[in-house]
């Protein structure tokens, strides 16, 4: 295992490599992927994704393996391991054929697509994501917490079970009166300021 402080120093080299790999995989899978369904598009719009028609889904037997110089980092950060069921490459959501609960996975990955969009692209997203994974671990990474929250709240809203949520001045998620600072309803649920 590489020391996280060392990995932080390596990010200026690692992030462009990872961004290039992700973009290449996305391009390679374009012809093997499908557009979002009508329901998935509605979810993407509800989240605030500006161009849901650019997002694709590929159901694959196995996820692509990163190049050697990225593989160790991906495994150490638990981003892409032998147990990973899904992955997002730019605007293409990859899901293993036998992954359980694919609808929930798509919601989760759509929230990542929104983060990518709001961060200004894949490279900026990866830099922030890697930094947070190094600082907090994959499960406690604020960006992962945000996407889990969005997916869970989208599922709860479908069931008519969504609590009032207030995004206060701190930008955190709190309970109370629903906020409406000109934000889209899903943006009121989670702060995507990354």
Residue 4 near residue 53 (C-beta atoms within 8 A): no
The whole-number pLDDT of residue 112 equals: 96
pLDDT tens for the 194 residues of the chain, in order: 677 787 888 889 999 999 999 999 999 999 999 999 999 999 999 999 999 999 999 999 999 998 988 887 888 788 887 888 999 999 999 999 999 999 999 999 999 999 999 999 999 999 999 999 989 988 899 999 999 999 888 888 877 765 543 333 333 333 333 334 444 444 444 444 43
Residue 25 near residue 87 (C-beta atoms within 8 A): no
The whole-number pLDDT of residue 157 equals: 82
The whole-number pLDDT of residue 120 equals: 95
The whole-number pLDDT of residue 44 equals: 95
The whole-number pLDDT of residue 194 equals: 39
- Closest to 94 (Cα-Cα) out of 77, 112, 78: 112
């Amino acid at each position: 295992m590489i020391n996280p402080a060392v990995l932080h120093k390596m990010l200026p080299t690692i992030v462009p490599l990872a961004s290039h790999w992700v973009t290449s995989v996305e391009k390679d899978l374009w012809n093997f992927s499908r557009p979002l369904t009508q329901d998935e598009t509605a979810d993407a719009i509800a989240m605030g994704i500006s161009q849901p028609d650019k997002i694709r889904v590929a159901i694959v037997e196995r996820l692509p393996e990163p190049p050697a110089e990225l593989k160790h980092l991906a495994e150490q950060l638990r981003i892409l391991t032998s147990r990973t069921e899904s992955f997002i490459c730019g605007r293409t959501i990859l899901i293993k054929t036998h992954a359980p609960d694919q609808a929930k996975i798509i919601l989760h990955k759509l929230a990542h697509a929104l983060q990518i969009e709001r961060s200004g692209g894949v490279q900026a997203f990866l830099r922030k994501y890697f930094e947070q994974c190094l600082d907090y671990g994959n499960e406690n990474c604020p960006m992962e917490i945000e996407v889990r929250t969005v997916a869970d709240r989208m599922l709860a809203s479908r069931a008519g079970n969504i609590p009032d949520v207030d995004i206060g001045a701190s930008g955190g998620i709190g309970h109370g009166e629903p906020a409406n600072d000109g934000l889209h309803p899903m943006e009121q649920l989670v702060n995507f300021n990354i």
